[in-house]
């Protein structure tokens, strides 16, 4: 029954509706209409090329990326607890479960560190015979192409900063 309701759920102008060909009924959603309960990581060895997939409590799988961004805001109850959500589809948010949130926390990297790693790999690949100093200088230059140092998670080539 929940899958049926989820298939006709619509978010429009800040309100939730159940829409069928015959009627449109406004409903109230307490927090998020979906709960994200499972994490799957593809290309786990390289943070900047990994893709993170989350599965909803109804079995729908979502890849975190530009179309389905991860957002870690504050809990609306005012207790300063993190409130991680992902756009599941068409503005419908999924709340990341606590266990999945802890798994995501294990994947947090410093953006500057991943920039240095990819810049060093790029510089080494293009100038294998260069001195180590020039590789380091090239890597240091590439860091400037990214935003300031920040902690976050990579998925589908997009960096999601935690703060």
Show me where the domains of the chain are located. Answer: 1-30, 110-154
Residue found by looking up tokens 């756009």 in the block: 87
> Which CATH number fits the domain 1-30, given the four candidates 3.90.76.10, 3.90.1170.50, 1.10.760.10, 3.10.540.10?
3.10.540.10
Q: Which tens digit of pLDDT belongs to each residue from 70-89? A: 998 887 777 778 899 999 99
C-beta atoms surrounding 70 within 10 Å: 22
Is this prediction's pTM over 0.75? no
What's the CA gap between 160 and 140, in Å, rounded? 22
What's the CA gap between 149 and 112, in Å, rounded? 5
> What confidence score (pLDDT) does residue 122 get?
44
What's the CA gap between 33 and 16, in Å, rounded? 9
> What confidence score (pLDDT) does residue 9 get?
87
Structure token digits, residue 111: 């953006």
> What confidence score (pLDDT) does residue 111 get?
86
For the chain, residues with pLDDT lower than 70 are 113-149, 163
């Amino acid at each position: 029954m929940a899958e049926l309701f989820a298939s006709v759920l619509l978010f429009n102008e800040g309100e939730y509706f159940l829409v069928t060909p015959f009627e449109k009924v406004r409903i109230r959603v307490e927090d998020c209409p979906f709960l994200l309960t499972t994490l799957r990581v593809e290309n786990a060895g390289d943070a900047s090329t990994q893709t993170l997939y989350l599965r909803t409590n109804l079995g729908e799988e979502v890849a975190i990326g530009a179309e389905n961004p991860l957002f870690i805001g504050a809990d609306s109850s005012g207790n300063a607890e993190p409130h991680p959500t992902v756009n599941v589809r068409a503005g419908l948010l999924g709340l990341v479960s606590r266990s999945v949130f802890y798994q995501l926390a294990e994947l947090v990297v410093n953006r500057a560190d991943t920039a240095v790693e990819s810049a060093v790999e790029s510089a080494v690949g293009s100038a294998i015979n260069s001195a180590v100093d020039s590789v380091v200088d090239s890597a240091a230059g590439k860091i400037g192409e990214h935003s300031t140092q920040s902690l976050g998670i990579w998925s589908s080539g997009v960096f999601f900063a935690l703060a």
